[in-house]
Chains A and B, each alone.
Chain A
């Protein structure tokens, strides 16, 4: 029983891991995508439709990755090439995702109806993929020249440019990779974690992932810990009877992860915290780069 709860929690955390990691990759290059929820909705919906129509999980995930990459490219085009306000662009992506998937996916409302993806002792295989991705991302960011380039365009694009780095290319690379992972994260939700389609069914997980990136101080390893914590909290809110049977209605428990998110966000933003742990926010986050 306890193990099952933990496995379920870790499976939930897997989605947070993928989603938050994708956002982190984009943000380290200086591009904020608050439309992560929308990209996940696209990935989840397209992945669901393709998997159900073809009967192939592989094609479903591929479709999700491709659409995620395309939406990432779109966000990149608005934010990098056109140089618009990244928050506005992200909002656009979110509402586009919300609106279009509601329409496109509606005929597919209901369960996926395929054999479940096999698990390993109750754990989704993607849990392990997620951990591997975290480590790879950490290695790439801190030990390779590509990682240095990504971090540099996120910190100060004009410095990177005079050092001979193609800011536009580097940012596009990050944003598209980020979008592909977001789409993938959405598909893990709709094909593995909870394979039932309903409109707007990501239910704010994308926004929690966005908050998680801030918690992680842009460090992939801390991010892994944060997403496990949130996965557990989420699972706890679904099964409150495991801890405090009969106390408060289950709807009140559902609010707990969100309340805690706000609480942690407040703690993170205090001066005490930033002094103690250092602020690691990419300096150029959210700022379009214009060549002189």
Chain B
């Protein structure tokens, strides 16, 4: 293509540095925000005002910031649940199902200790809370294991399987908390029972202790992929299963392992949302929405290029955007779902910008004699 005396050419990138990837991702996010401003315009709101409200509520507001951090922890855990299988080249879109399974696991532990019976029951948090975390991990891991097993053993398409498990688990939760299900709360409106105060998760400065789990996992996963044998095996399988098999890496164990780890982390996300967020402490009636939010994990994972440390700022940004988005819906009288629209636009922009991970645009001045 020619523009004046310049020639524009696409060239394949040989190597992509981390810095370039970060720049491209940031540009993609900015571009998406620009696109969404058309939605603001359409709704009759000055986009600058809209974004100012979103960001100031999301990041600089005494009420908003803790909510942002809550959401970010959740998104970060979902991101890890996506990243680990993705490193093995496998798509986990079953974070929703795995987090419901985790929530069921955590509440099953509380249920077993009789927490449904009375709000004033005095349970030892030092025992029950760790057990709830174990329950959540097991629930999520079991849900993930199904997809990992079917992939490893039968080579079924993991996208379809994890999606199916999402719906199965969705209805299982409904079974447990609706129409007289065992976990139904006293309100009887399709909500889970509320955890008694004695086993509610500890909150430090308005932030649940699960933030420590999320940040700890970030470091742990980074180390796993950078320095360990298992991380190496996962990466080898992800880049080329046939070569991995040649090197003696089991094509059964790796898919199972990554989905168990991914599921486990998603299970912890389930614990976080239903058992650790201030004021929730139950499986809420609109539990489906949290499954939707899990999809931010996909976007965040893709933007961070499967790097668990890079995922932290991105999760924080998305936490703030959704949180602020929900807030401006009310404040500026926008329609429902502006945060969902943002989610969609972000994702598609990211997809379009993936092109720049592989190609670069080269401008060349055309020499005079050739003109």
Contacts and interface: CB of A to CB of B under 8 A. Distances in A.
B167 A92 contact: no
B163 interface: yes
Contacts of A88: 302, 351, 354
14 contacts: A88-B354, A96-B347, A96-B348, A98-B343, A100-B341, A102-B341, A106-B336, A106-B337, A204-B163, A208-B164, A214-B157, A251-B175, A262-B164, A266-B153
Interface string A206-218: 0110110010000
A207 B91 CA distance: 14
Interface residues of B, number: 49
Given A249-B175, A254-B171, A91 B345 contact: no
Interface of A: 34, 74, 78, 82-85, 87-89, 91-93, 95-100, 102-104, 106-107, 199-200, 203-204, 207-208, 210-211, 214, 249, 251-252, 254-255, 258-259, 261-262, 265-266, 268-270
Q: Which residue, of B156, B181, B344, has the highest number of chain A Cβ atoms within 10 A? A: B344
Interface of B: 39, 91, 93, 146, 150, 153-157, 159-161, 163-168, 171-172, 174-175, 178-179, 181, 292, 295, 298-299, 302, 335-338, 340-345, 347-348, 350-352, 354-355, 358
A3 to B, nearest CB: 28
Contacts of A106: 335-337
Given A95-B348, A100-B345, 15 more contacts: A78-B352, A84-B358, A88-B351, A91-B298, A95-B347, A99-B337, A99-B342, A207-B164, A211-B160, A255-B167, A255-B171, A258-B165, A262-B146, A265-B160, A269-B156
Given A89-B351, A269-B154, A261 B345 contact: no
Contacts of B337: 99, 102-103, 106, 199
A265 B351 contact: no
B171 A98 contact: no
B348 A107 contact: no
Contacts of B350: 92
A157 B163 CA distance: 30
A251 B179 CA distance: 10
B154 A103 contact: no
